[in-house]
Amino acid sequence: MSSRLIAISNRIPIGANASGGLVVALREALAQSKGIWIGAHPDPGAGEERLEPVEGGAETRMAFRLTEEEMSDYYLGFANSVLWPLCHRRVDLVDMQAAYERSYRAVNARVARLVAQMARPDDVIWVHDYHFFPLAQELRALGLTNRIGFFLHVPFPSLGDLSVLPKPDDFADWLADFDLLGFQTQGDVARCLEMYRADPRAEFMMDGTVKMGSRITSVAAFPIGIETEDFRAQAQEGGPNPFGREAPEWFIIGVDRLDYSKGIPGRFRAFGRYLETRPEGTRPCLVQIAPPTRDTVKAYQDITNELESIAGHLNGAFAELDWTPFRYIHRKVERAKLARLYRMAEACAVTSLADGMNLVAKEFVAAQDADDPGVLILSRFAGAAEDMSAALLVNPHDIEDMARAIGRAFEMPLAERQERNAALMEVVERTDVAQWADAFLSRLRKCPPTLFAPEPGDAGMKSAG
Ligand code: ADQ
């Protein structure tokens, strides 16, 4: 029987129409291997020791239920109030509580038991994101010798920041039980290797792998992308003008989950600064689409209030009876409409203070008309900047720098826009999400097999291959 793929992510698509790059990429890979996708059900339960089938997908989806307490302590707590700020260089926002850590470990241990119940020895296991850093360790402790890979969607934390964890050395141990660690950028790979370099237990092998005890782990970058063709087709399809009769003359678009890592307040201030210096008679707009997330966490309530206050203040200062420079939409927009908005926009601002990749940057480029493209303004701190250097790269901590970039975008000659767009499009096509999944999985399947599961609390025995 051929090897199946088991994918594990915190969020699992619900319903037949679930879309999004990760859904499509994993769905294809899962369909090819008759695989299984395991994730947390959006509705809480009693924390049962069983998986339940989730209807709707062509692939097999199985969900576990988190209790209300786990939603609060594991998900909103350790994952999103400790690990998320840690990975996004905001250790000042880390809210460390013993109950959070306990819940995180307990959920990972339970998910490992559930995976172990269904995994066959030759299944390949692909774990996604910071919710499951210790999952391989838990699986190895249960005796699994399968190939287990991990992809981190967010930035790898810096060595100094890792010290905020209750037991920083555990972090390297957790990761060492994966066969392959995949990151968004070379910068993330470098930070991970720096962590191992600082750890006297780690040894660097000739082939670039890292050895901890008897465990050998490969570390590589796999920049994620979007469904480029599909998104381009949606943008080209046309449809009603999303603005109706209120279309702005000239606009710059921002699309983000409302998160402090996305640098939205700085973007608003930079646009305000640009308005002060703009050519006379022009009426540009910033259209910001930002649906709320994790809004029971205080840091998220703070950013919501901050943005409303800046937008209100700047509109008060600049708006006229027939012109509102800030249009701030606090909800989700369906993808076809989003694609059209990107295509209509003169520019897109991605000003993250830290970001694993940032798919909005790629979506904006894919949606452009190559003959008359808009301009991408991109933070140097988004993973996307590593490959997308043909964008107008900005420092999101420097309001003047961003205001200047907005001015440049509005004035950029057609030939330069076309040239930059062509270079960016080449990147977006090359890093398509299907290629990303293929590259990761084929590398994982080539990792040397683990021969024995580790003794509890100690290193595993793995062939050096
Ligand atoms: P996110 O932090 O969610 O993802 P991003 O990569 O920009 O960030 O993806 C956001 C997605 O949500 C995009 O597809 C975007 O179109 C969509 N979206 C945002 N606002 C929307 C709205 N109002 N309406 C509709 N759709 C909206 C995490 C990491 C990123 C990494 C991705 C993928 O934080 O750095 O790029 O995973 O690995």
Closest by CA to 433, choosing from 29, 11, 124, 74, is: 29
The two structure tokens encoding residue 9: 């992510």
Instruction: List ligand 1's pocket residues with C-beta within 6 A.
Output: 153-154, 224, 255-257, 289, 291, 332-333, 338, 355-360, 363
Q: Which CATH number fits domain 5-225+434-445: 3.40.50.2300, 1.10.260.40, 3.40.50.2000, 3.40.1670.10?
A: 3.40.50.2000
Structure confidence at residue 461 (pLDDT): 44
Query: Collapsing DSSP states into helix, strand and coil, what is residue 349?
Result: strand
Q: Per mean pLDDT, which range of 18-32, 138-152, 299-313 is the poorest? A: 18-32
> Which residue intervals of the chain bear CATH 3.40.50.2000?
5-225+434-445, 228-430
- Greater confidence (11 vs 82) lies with 82
161, 355, 387, 432: which one is catalytic?
355
Query: Collapsing DSSP states into helix, strand and coil, what is residue 203?
Result: strand
Quick one: fold of 228-430?
A: Rossmann fold (3.40.50)
Sheet of 326-329: strand order equals 326-329, 284-289, 250-255, 347-350, 375-379, 392-394
Structure confidence at residue 294 (pLDDT): 81
Q: Please tell me the distance from the alpha carbon of residue 98 to that of residue 78, in angstroms, as a whole number.
A: 9
Q: How close is the Cα of 254 to the center of ligand 1, in Å?
A: 11
Catalytic residue list contains 95: no
Closest by CA to 242, choosing from 364, 340, 348, is: 340
Question: pLDDT, tens digit, for every residue of 438-453?
Answer: 999 999 999 987 766 5
412-425 mean pLDDT: 98
Structure confidence at residue 462 (pLDDT): 47
The two structure tokens encoding residue 424: 């960016």
The rounded percent of the chain whose pLDDT value lies above 70 is: 95
Tell me whether strands 375-379 and 36-40 are parallel, antiparallel or unpaired. unpaired
pTM given for the model: 0.95
Alpha helix ranges (H) inside 63-158: 68-70, 84-87, 98-118, 135-141
For residues 411 and 382, the answer to whether their CB atoms sit within 8 Å is: no
Q: How close is the Cα of 359 to the center of ligand 1, in Å?
A: 6
**pLDDT(25) > 80:** no
Mean pLDDT of the chain: 92
129, 131, 153, 199: which one is catalytic?
153
Give the position, in ligand 1's atom list, of the atom nearest the Cα of 21.
14
**pLDDT(369) > 90:** yes
Pocket test for ligand 1, best of 287, 360, 364 (most atoms within 8 A of CB): 360
**pLDDT(217) > 50:** yes
Q: Per mean pLDDT, which range of 11-25, 99-113, 238-252, 286-300 is the poorest? A: 11-25
Instruction: Give me the amino acid identity at 10.
Output: N
Give the position, in ligand 1's atom list, of the atom nearest the Cα of 363.
16
Q: Please tell me the distance from the alpha carbon of residue 313 to that of residue 293, in angstroms, as a whole number.
A: 24
Nearest CA residue ID for atom 3, ligand 1? 257
298-324 mean pLDDT: 91
Structure confidence at residue 243 (pLDDT): 87
Q: Please tell me the distance from the alpha carbon of residue 362 to that of residue 201, in angstroms, as a whole number.
A: 39
Q: How close is the Cα of 425 to the center of ligand 1, in Å?
A: 19
For residues 88 and 130, the answer to whether their CB atoms sit within 8 Å is: no
Give the position, in ligand 1's atom list, of the atom nearest the Cα of 384.
36
Catalytic residue list contains 153: yes
Query: Collapsing DSSP states into helix, strand and coil, what is residue 428?
Result: helix
Split at pLDDT 50, 70, 90, the class of 163 is very high
Q: Which of 52-61, 405-414, 456-465 has the highest mean pLDDT?
A: 405-414
Nearest CA residue ID for atom 28, ligand 1? 153
Structure confidence at residue 381 (pLDDT): 98
Half-sphere exposure of 314 (CA within 13 A, CB side): 24
Split at pLDDT 50, 70, 90, the class of 148 is very high
Instruction: Give me the amino acid identity at 267.
Output: R
